[in-house]
Amino acid sequence: MSGPSNILRLAVIGGAALTLAGCEIGPKKIEQTGFRGTGGDQIIAANRLVAQPVPAPPFALPADGGPTAGETYQNVQVLKGVSAERFNYLMASMNNWVAPQTGDPAKVGCNYCHNPDNLASDEKYTKIVARRMLQMTQNINANWSTHVKGTGVTCWTCHRGNAVPQYKWAIAPDPGGRLMGNKHGQNSPAATVAFASLPYDPFTPYIKGAQKVRVQGNVPLQTGKPGASIAHTEQTYALMMHMSSALNVNCTFCHNTNSFSSWSNSRPQRVGAWYGIRMVRQANEQYINPLASVFPAYRKGPHGDPYKVNCSTCHQGLNKPLGGVSMLADYPMLVGAVGGPVAASPVKTLVADPNATAKSCNADFDKALAGKTIQFDTGAATVQPVSTPLLDTLTEIAGRCSNFKMLVEGHTDAVGDAAKNLTLSDSRAAAVEQYFVGKGVKADQIAAKGFGSTKPLDTSGTPVGNQRNRRIEISVAAK
């Protein structure tokens, strides 16, 4: 081959290599996280290790006591039991955390949420949203220690001085075209999936909906074993790419690459991520999406859904938001009360019963659920605290039967939209599954699935019949 041709070929190869390496340019920091030779290293983009400062409180935290906010001010619907002094302290902090500081005087500082002539008025949508976000923050701190540990979150964790968090998402626009030019939601460079060719909206199925995070099975034909289509596998990898980018970590932060699916070979961080997916899903579905009618159009995506949270919203390039610094000591009123989604009590050691059979386990679950039902908030997947004793009984049975694969089934009545009922049943089943895993049941021994109204126990359509159909069932499969 002639010299010029060789030069041309080298130029093409070199250009392609530079293009493929575009997202990898920059210095790297390498940390060993496992035994030598196991590949347990973290490769971190050093240029993304940007300081995430924590603002100082506006003034010293006032002593608790004295008249409450509910006694002092009108129309206080959240934090009404907090002292008025501490309430004012938090409002001053939120002013710095969230409210714009420059621009239209009617929309900066306290005026961002309040009418200065009538502080009790709810005329500004931002006040309604702020209430619900405070409740969401309290819920996360009280009931999701499985993900946020004792560090917790505040409004600053996501907002960082912005009225709207910098990192957010909405349902992606529909792909255009019929055949030519229709990329079917992937094969376009997008920051959401670290510029991979994977589906660029993995959030809708996983942290809006409750699709299972699964990859393609290891057998050629579909069986009863966990597995997913290639399309769902690509969505799973897209979500993983997002998480990797959001935390500035690689796969070995959670997984042992010798066996990605093995929980027993994974790092503890994988458990935290498992809870994190469910925490974010609940934040979107129970706190943000229901505000769709409140948000103005410019605060919504192309499909009219509000902008929602994902891993980047809080982490912003660090595996621990704000470098792991907790602000809760200065803001105890944001801890909230336990009892949203059921808070996990101390984990007990669960020991499988070697004499248990699939038949005996199914009988035990049926007996425990006979005449009883797990209570959820209306239209939501939030388990009511009254159901904690029943869940604990079911957890003990699951522990005894943990040598078998178990399936948590969610069922609804036929009232309302069938698609929404299916999603709700899946979310409720996942909430029970989450409780079991939080109590020590092995995650790879239990799964959850919603059936909506497709498997009714009673077809009468009466209130009593509908109540029977709204239920959770647990089945055990023989080996």
Ordered DSSP codes for 314-335: HHTTSSSGGGG---GGG-GGGS
Residue 456 CB contacts under 8 Å (≥ 6 apart), including other chains: 411, 413, 414, 465, 469
28 burial class (0-12, 13-18, 19+ CB within 10 angstroms)? Answer: exposed
Q: How far is CA 125 from CA 41, 131, 304, 340, in A?
A: 47, 10, 16, 24
- Measured distance CA(462)–CA(137) in Å, rounded: 39
pLDDT at 219: 61
Residue 241 CB contacts under 8 Å (≥ 6 apart), including other chains: 193, 194, 196, 198
Indicate the pTM of the whole model: 0.67
Q: Which two tokens stand for residue 275?
A: 């809870």
336 DSSP assignment:
-
- Measured distance CA(435)–CA(426) in Å, rounded: 14
- Measured distance CA(97)–CA(105) in Å, rounded: 18
- Measured distance CA(158)–CA(316) in Å, rounded: 9
63 burial class (0-12, 13-18, 19+ CB within 10 angstroms)? Answer: exposed
99 burial class (0-12, 13-18, 19+ CB within 10 angstroms)? Answer: buried
pLDDT at 177: 58
pLDDT at 250: 87
pLDDT at 388: 83
pLDDT tens for the chain, residues 1 to 479: 445 444 444 344 444 433 333 355 778 888 887 777 766 777 888 777 777 889 999 999 998 889 999 999 999 988 888 999 999 999 999 999 999 888 888 889 999 999 999 998 989 999 999 999 999 999 899 889 899 988 999 999 999 999 999 999 999 887 665 666 677 788 888 888 888 889 999 999 899 888 888 876 666 555 555 566 788 888 999 999 999 989 988 888 898 877 888 888 888 899 999 999 999 999 998 889 888 888 999 999 999 999 999 999 999 999 999 999 999 999 999 987 655 443 334 445 577 899 999 999 999 999 999 988 898 877 777 777 778 889 889 999 998 998 899 999 999 999 998 988 888 898 888 888 877 876 778 777 888 899 999 999 999 989 888 999 999 999 998 76
**Residue 188: φ, ψ to 5°:** -130, 130
pLDDT at 346: 42
What is the total residue count of the chain? 479
pLDDT at 337: 61
Q: Which two tokens stand for residue 281?
A: 């899903």
pLDDT at 315: 96
